[in-house]
Amino acid sequence: MDEKDKIIASLRTQLQEALSTNRVLEQEMALLEYKINITSKATQPLS
């Protein structure tokens, strides 16, 4: 494997790690938005 191939392999690994981190953060955001939504509904006065 020459140097260029090593760089490409390293960049692919970095991209996969970044995509994985991004998915985790998106899931965390969705959960937090859900919790905020539930909390705001629970604290609204009854009409």
Per residue in 8-28, pLDDT (tens digit) is: 999 999 999 999 999 999 999
> Is the per-residue pLDDT at 46 higher than 70?
no
Length of the chain, please? 47
DSSP state of 16: H
Tell me how far CA of residue 15 lies from CA of 18, 38, 40, in angstroms. Answer: 5, 35, 37
> Is the per-residue pLDDT at 44 higher than 90?
no
The count of C-alpha atoms lying within 13 angstroms of the C-alpha of 33, restricted to the half-sphere facing its C-beta, is: 6
> Is the per-residue pLDDT at 47 higher than 70?
no
Please tell me the distance from the alpha carbon of residue 1 to that of residue 12, in angstroms, as a whole number.
15
pTM: 0.71
